Amino acid sequence: MMPSANIRSIIIILLSFLIGTVSSSTFASYYSTKHTSNSESILEIKKINVDYLGSSQGGFGGYEARGLAGLSTPSHLGEWARIEVEYQSFPDWTDEVDLDIYVLMDDEVILKGTLKQINLSRKHSHKAVFYLHPTTLERFRSIHKIAIQGSSAGKIEDTRQWPSTTHQEWWKTASIRKGLLKKSFETPFFLNDAEKYEDTEI
């Protein structure tokens, strides 16, 4: 008969092995699930860029771009704000992507715009653009924050904010004004933009 001490040692070893196996499986499953979830996202927003288009003798349509310096405020009347979004889609072809933009202005006013881009290939990155009319900038002044949400088939796939140090979902806590963020075809820049941005549903 095997001594009881040896039996206890064998039982302890077996229990330790089983517990370790269960713990390792749970740990691996947790991280593989997170990884799978990330890989299933069909798009990623890469970049948000903001600049101003001021009236001049040069440039297409009498306008030329001016980058931001300090606060995101136009230097003089007559300037348009241009907000460009760059993103990547991962399926070979994506039928459509909805982009929702929120812009925080002075006095905690939030402007919202939406556009739908169609027939997106994974072979290259995609760009979209929104504009703010000079009178909108004259009224609401500075651009403080921007958030972009990319969705497909009604599911939010990614969110990116500008500046990148912003983390709170501030666009859910204040009043929202619609209709003031312009699509390219509503601006003087439409013809110049035709080859720069993806096909947009009107």
With 60 as the cut, is the pLDDT of residue 182 above it? yes
Compute the CA torsion angle 157, 160, 165, 171 (nearest 10 deg): -90
- The verdict on 17 and 74 lying in the same domain is no
CA distance 47 to 62: 27
- The verdict on 24 and 119 lying in the same domain is no
**According to the model, what pLDDT value does residue 110 have?**
96
Q: For the chain, how many structural domains are there in total?
A: 2
With 60 as the cut, is the pLDDT of residue 115 above it? yes
- The verdict on 93 and 192 lying in the same domain is yes
Q: What average pLDDT is seen over the chain?
A: 77
User: What pTM does this model have?
Assistant: 0.71
**According to the model, what pLDDT value does residue 25 have?**
31
Residues composing the chain: 202
- The verdict on 59 and 101 lying in the same domain is yes
At 99, the amino acid letter reads: L
Domain interval for residue 131: 43-201
- The verdict on 125 and 31 lying in the same domain is no
- The verdict on 98 and 180 lying in the same domain is yes
- The verdict on 191 and 132 lying in the same domain is yes
Calculate what percentage of the chain has a pLDDT beyond 70: 68
- The verdict on 33 and 66 lying in the same domain is no
- The verdict on 59 and 29 lying in the same domain is no
Retrieve residue 190's tokens. Answer: 């439409």
DSSP assignment of 92-126 equals SEEEEEEEEEEEE-GGG-EEEEEEEEEEEETTS-E
- Among 37, 63, 52, 126, which residue's Cα sits nearest to residue 89? 126
- The verdict on 20 and 82 lying in the same domain is no
Mind listing the pLDDT tens digit for each residue in 28-47? 222 222 222 245 789 999 99
Mind listing the pLDDT tens digit for each residue in 116-162? 999 999 998 999 999 999 999 999 989 999 999 999 999 999 999 99
**According to the model, what pLDDT value does residue 77 have?**
66
- The verdict on 99 and 196 lying in the same domain is yes
Give the CATH number for residue 172.
2.70.50
> pLDDT band at 70, cuts 50/70/90?
very low
CA distance 77 to 37: 47
**According to the model, what pLDDT value does residue 184 have?**
94
